Amino acid sequence: MTEVKREVFGQMPRAEGGGVVEKFILKSDSMKVEILSLGCIIAALETKGRNGEFSDVVLGFDTLEGYMREHPYFGATVGRVANRIAKGRFTVDGKEYQLFLNNGPNSLHGGARGFDKVLWSPQVLPNGVCFFRLSPDGEEGYPGDLKVWVTYTLSGGELAINYRAQTSKTTPINLTNHAYFNLAGQGSQDIYNHEISIEADSYLPVDETKIPTGEVATVQGTSFDLRQPVELGKHLQKFHLDGFDHNFCLQQAQARRLVARARHPPTGRAMEVHTTQPGIQFYTGNDLDGSLRGKGTVAYPKHSAFCLETQNWPDAVNKPHFPSALLQPGEEYNHTTWLVFSAA
């Protein structure tokens, strides 16, 4: 059985349109998840270790003020288009669109005021919560009125996130959740003793601005071969890597499949990622630098968390040979990701 509670988390500043931010607490016997109506943010996720002790394994803030300041999308739903669009430019139906550039020469995670920074309308479900918003035509430069539903449901040790959208004009769309995980517990210094595996035979090499070059490269014989579990710290050292911030290409199938696994041997905590999406961005918190203080005023240094963002491939709207990122009127965008937590 899942218990669902709601409470007030804070009040949006008037400059941001005001409005009450609510927190929804989903609780099963093995997990507790807290989700905000601001950005559909996963603000906390507590799960058991092998000794039965609960720890919060996602980075974030104790108060709304933390989320109102600039931060690297902790726990948020990002869109309309997650990841990068080269030069913030794309063409649909012969018309060129220019987006706000917020990541060097590129547009990242929906622009200046993406889905992570707005209030969503919640509806409580028996085992979770569904958030809705209408992204108006022209918001952040994107075409079409876009209706979006993000639904979180909790069952035992499994958190499901379903994304649905419908549009009035052809528009690119790519939704994901940007939770930062540390299975040792948020606030732990690093993720070097985590074991990571990703079920991908190929990945996307990127240029110096993190835009895919267009090549779909094999992982065989490279540092990107994570098909067997690697201990992250040793793996980064062995290949002299600063970290990962890359899209791994998943088997193209609309069905649910296991695509990645993270494990923290000292606590026994493990997380499996299952999805219907064609890609997963593996990011090792390379840009965290200790300047941000999160829950319990703990500093978040470099490599103190990882993200496994299930999504379409970056810049797909400008790469015809990538899986299509376009949603047409009359169609429905519908993807689900399942995070399955266990301890052994």
Q: Which residues are catalytic?
A: 178, 309
Binding residues for beta-D-galactose: 83-84, 178-180, 245
CA atoms within 13 Å, Cβ hemisphere of 128: 17
CB atoms within 10 A of CB 136: 12
Handedness of CA 312, 37, 103, 222 (dihedral sign): negative
307 Ramachandran zone, left/alpha/beta (phi>0; psi -120 to 50): beta
- Six token digits for residue 17: 């349109």
CA atoms within 13 Å, Cβ hemisphere of 115: 34
Alpha helices in the chain (DSSP H): 64-68, 232-238
Cα separation, 230 vs 268, in Å, equals 16
Residue 61 CA, chain-centre distance (Å), reads: 17
Binding residues: 83-84, 178-180, 245
310 within 8 A of 273, measured Cβ to Cβ: yes
* Count, residues in the chain: 344
Sequential DSSP letters for 206-237 = B-TTS-B-S--EE-TTSTT--SS-EEHHHHHH
Angle at alpha carbon of residue 224, lines to 55 and 341, rounded to 5°:
25
Q: Tell how strand 128-135 and strand 146-155 pair up.
A: antiparallel
Residue with structure tokens 């927190």?
Answer: 23
CB atoms within 10 A of CB 210: 18
Cα separation, 68 vs 12, in Å, equals 8
266 within 8 A of 329, measured Cβ to Cβ: no
Cα separation, 273 vs 183, in Å, equals 14
